[in-house]
Amino acid sequence: MQSRPVIGIPTQTLQAIEIIPEGLPHSWVMNERYFRVVTSVGGVPWMVPLLDEDPETLRAIYDHLDGIFLAGGVDVDPSSYGSERHALCGRTDLARDAVELLFARWAREDGKPVFGVCRGMQVINVAAGGSLWQDCADQLPESVKHDYFPGAGWARDYLAHDIRVVEGTRLHRAFGEERVMVNSMHHQGICRMGEGLVASAYAPDGLVEALEGDGDAFQVGVQWHPEMLIESDAGTRRLFEDFIEAASEFHESRALVGSLR
């Protein structure tokens, strides 16, 4: 029986995402939707703690994983890409930044599959030396609306705008179409593209909506939230299935190397 690939999903610090009652212990949490989607396409999700002060333990965790899934969440702190904080930069989570950037860089070096959504795409870009717009509406006045946040009354699966998918990319092979409608729950975006990455989709205003590595390894980031669309869109399901397939292949290749030693 073929083993299911283990997919690491870094957590986030509860205290970084909301105001909590005084005295509540420091906690790590993550939206369960990501774990259920990974499970639905054959992966085994694994919560990754934010042990940013213990890289040895983090490496031991990383080495047991066949793929990395970087989820949505609070803003990436601008210190991660050498910029001053903009007035409209929101809440950040330095411990999560440190762990996710480390995992993204390790995965890039090892060719381990990595899939990032929303914030996760931005982490992939920053890990490769790229930078971000800290508030698209303010810094890109000609941009379309991207911040259809649930807290403002928008459904998480609301299809906000279309994207143009670049032919010849992994994304295009998954969707098989040049125009795709997506949901949109972000206010930051890609500014300078990281080294070794290429844009695979654009919003109507030209903002990068998806990126991927320029090599053979599965390294994909999308700016929208496909975990909310997997049940209604065949292209979205194929994208997740491609990620799990790549993780399975990575697992098998690692097992083969181990057997030859």
Residues labelled as active-site residues: 118, 225, 227
Beta strands 114-117 and 219-222 are parallel
* Contact call for residues 96 and 147 (beta carbons, < 8 A): no
Q: What are phi and psi of 203, to 5 degrees?
A: -75, 170
Angle between helices 234-260 and 32-40 (to 10 degrees): 70
Q: What are phi and psi of 209, to 5 degrees?
A: -105, -10
Sign, CA dihedral 113-118-119-124, equals: positive
What's the DSSP call for residue 66?
S
* Contact call for residues 67 and 246 (beta carbons, < 8 A): yes
CA distance 23 to 241: 42
- From the list 75, 199, 196, 31, the residue with the least C-alpha distance to 127 is 196
CA distance 128 to 113: 15
Question: Residue 241: how many CB atoms within 10 A of its CB?
Answer: 16
Tokens of 170: 């992994």
